[in-house]
Amino acid sequence: MECLASQINQVFMNLLINATHTTEDCGLITLRSRQSNDAAWISITDAGTGIDPENMKKSSTSSLPPTR
């Protein structure tokens, strides 16, 4: 798998910062990762309030260029 470590790092930092902003005191943030053959899965979940529906479309837009 090829990626730019600095861009992946920025994505994870943004997700974790957003999770901490919306999670109440002593909230739970869970990170999971898995690798199989040439694929990797990352899951970040939190007990926060979630994304407002009007912001949902913006959150699913990626600004990272594809790499191969």
Domain map (residue ranges) of the chain: 1-15+27-47
Tell me 65's DSSP state: P
Q: Give the model confidence (pLDDT) of 6-50 as tens digits.
A: 888 998 999 888 888 888 777 899 999 999 988 888 898 888 877
Pick 1 or 58 by higher pLDDT.
Answer: 58
Structure-token pair, residue 51? 């994304």
Neighbours of 58 (CB within 10 A): 8
pLDDT of residue 18: 85
Q: With contact defined as beta carbons under 8 Å apart, do 16 and 42 qualify?
A: no
Q: Write down the pTM of the prediction.
A: 0.62
